[in-house]
Structure 1
Amino acid sequence: MKQIIALGGGGFSMEPENPLLDRYILHQSGKTNPKICFLATASGDSDNYISRFYHFFEKQDCQPSHLSLFNPPTRDLESFLLEKDIIYVGGGNTKNLLVLWRAWGLDTILKKAWEQGIVLAGISAGSICWFEEGVTDSYGDGLAPLKCLGFLKGSNCPHYDGESERRPSYQNLIATNSITPGYAADDGVAIHFVDQEISHIVSSRPNAKAYKVNFDTEMTEMELETKFLGTL
C-alpha cells in the first residue's frame, strides 16, 4: 500500500498545541513505535525547525530522526531512509527542495520508499512536492506554478484559507491553463492518498476543508468531505 499524506497547513510547526494531524500521521504506519524521519530541506535544514520537530515527536510513541543534506548522517542515504516507517517533509522553498533532492538522488530514493509502503507526509512544500505541479511562493514575489515529482496526479495548493492570495491565484492559474486542475487544502487539513486515490481527508480545525478545483467552461470548486479529528 502506497501512502502520501499532504497537509495544507497545521501540524507541529504551525499549531504546536494541536497534535491531531501529527498523531494521525503516526497512526497510519500501523506500528506501535514507528520510526519517523524529518526532512527540513525546504527550509535549508533550519536548526530551529528541526528542534521543533524533536520537541513534539520525542513526546509521542515513535522514534524520531532527521536527515540533513547540509550535514549528512551517512553517505548511504538510501539505507538510512528505507529503514524508516514515515518520512515527514517540512515547509519552505519547494524549488530549492526539488533541486537539492535531485542532486542528491533523493527523488529516486523517496519514490522507492513510497513504493515499499513507507508513509510519505509533509506540509506546504512537503505537500506540493508529491504532485505533478504545485502553487509555490518559491520565486519570491507572487505565486507561480512549479513542476514537481509527480507521484500524485494533478496539482496542489496548500494554505488555501491561510494566505489571502492562494485561492484567487490557484483558480486563475487553472482557468488560464497555467497549471493542471487539482486539490486545495486549508490550513489544518490533511489529504490522505492511498495508491494515488484519496482515502480520507482529515482536519485539526472544525471548519477547515479540502477542495477539488477545476475549470471546464467555468471555475468549479467542489468541497470534499472532511472529517474533524477532534471533538466539538
Structure 2
Amino acid sequence: MTAPEPTILATSGGHRAGTRTRLLFDALVHHAVDLSGVHGRRPRILYVGTATGDAEHVTARISEAARVAGFDLTPLYLFPMPNVTDVEGTVLDHDVVWVMGGSVANLLAVWRVHGLDSVLRRAWRAGVVLGGVSAGSICWFRGGATDSFGPELRPVTNGLGLLPYGNGVHYDTDAGRRPLIHRLVADGTLPSAHCTDDGVGLVYRGTELVEAVTEVPGKGAYLVTREGGRAVEERVEPRRLPTPAF
C-alpha cells in the first residue's frame, strides 16, 4: 500500500511526552500513516535518526512510541555502517519514512555518502510517504534556517530539493528563525519559504502544498514570499487533527 501520488508531511511536531513512556506519537505522525492509505494490517514505519547520529536512546523512545501506537517500526542506521544489506528495498518496503530532528547539515552529508538521498527520491516517486520533524522537515526542501553549525542560526541551502521552497521550522518558539527566513527570502538566498509553528505540519502532493494541519490549537503555518526586494509573510490557518487515543 502506498500513497496515490508523491506525498510529504513536513512538520515541527509529531511527538509528545507520555505518562507511562517517555514519548508518544502525536497526531502528525498518525496523519502521516493516514496519508499512506494503509489499512487491514499494522502500518510499517521506517525511522531515520541520522540527524541525532543514530542515538540509541532516541531510537529506543521512538520504538516504544511505535509499540504504543500499534505501528511496526524499523530503524535505519547509517552509523557506523548501514544496518541492512538492501537499503533501497528496506525503504520501499515501508508505508512511511519518519526522519528525526537534529543536525540537518550532518544528515544531508551522511545521506549523500551512502546514496540515501537518491533512494528517498525514488521512494517518494513510488508513493512512500516521507515525513519528519525539524531537520526531518528541512531536508525535503531546498534549505532553511539551522543551528547545525553552532548556536547562531545560519542558512542551509543544499537540501534534497524534492520541494522547491525554503522551509522554516519552530517558527514560534525559536525567536531567531523568523527574521533569518525573512532575510534569506528577501535577498534571494532561498526561494519562497513555507514555515511551521511547533505542532504544525504541511502536506504536499507532488510539489504542491495542499493543506496545513496541526496537533496544537492556535498554531499557524506561514508562506514567506519576495516582493520588491522584501519578504512578505502570509499566515495559513491549519486544520486541527484529532488527538490520538491511547
Short-chain TM bin: over 0.9
- TM norm structure 2: 0.88
> Is 2:217 the counterpart of 1:206?
yes
Aligned twin of 2:180: 169
Question: Please, which runs of 5 or more residues in structure 1 have no aligned partner?
Answer: none
Query: Secondary structure of 1:153's match?
Result: coil
Query: Secondary structure of 1:58's match?
Result: helix
Show the 5 A alignment for 1:21-60: 21-32=28-39, 33-60=42-69
Report sequence identity in percent.
Answer: 35
Aligned twin of 1:66: 75
- The answer to whether the Cα contact below 8 Å between 1:13 and 1:52 also exists between their aligned partners in 2 is no
Q: Distance in 2 between matches of 1:69 and 1:156?
A: 25
- The answer to whether the Cα contact below 8 Å between 1:12 and 1:52 also exists between their aligned partners in 2 is no
Show the 5 A alignment for 1:29-178: 29-32=36-39, 33-70=42-79, 71-146=81-156, 147-178=158-189
Q: Runs of at least 4 residues of structure 1 off by over 6 A?
A: none
Q: Distance in 1 between matches of 2:15 and 2:196?
A: 17
Please give the root-mean-square deviation of Cα atoms over the aligned residues, in Å.
1.7
Q: Distance in 2 between matches of 1:69 and 1:160?
A: 29
- The answer to whether the Cα contact below 8 Å between 2:76 and 2:84 also exists between their aligned partners in 1 is no
- TM norm structure 1: 0.93
- The answer to whether the Cα contact below 8 Å between 2:143 and 2:165 also exists between their aligned partners in 1 is yes
Amino acid at match of 1:12: H
How many residues get paired?
A: 230
> Is 2:8 the counterpart of 1:4?
yes
Aligned twin of 1:224: 236
Q: Distance in 2 between matches of 1:230 and 1:30?
A: 17
Amino acid at match of 1:10: G
Q: Distance in 2 between matches of 1:114 and 1:14?
A: 30
Q: Distance in 2 between matches of 1:18 and 1:118?
A: 19
Q: CA deviation at 1:51?
A: 1.2
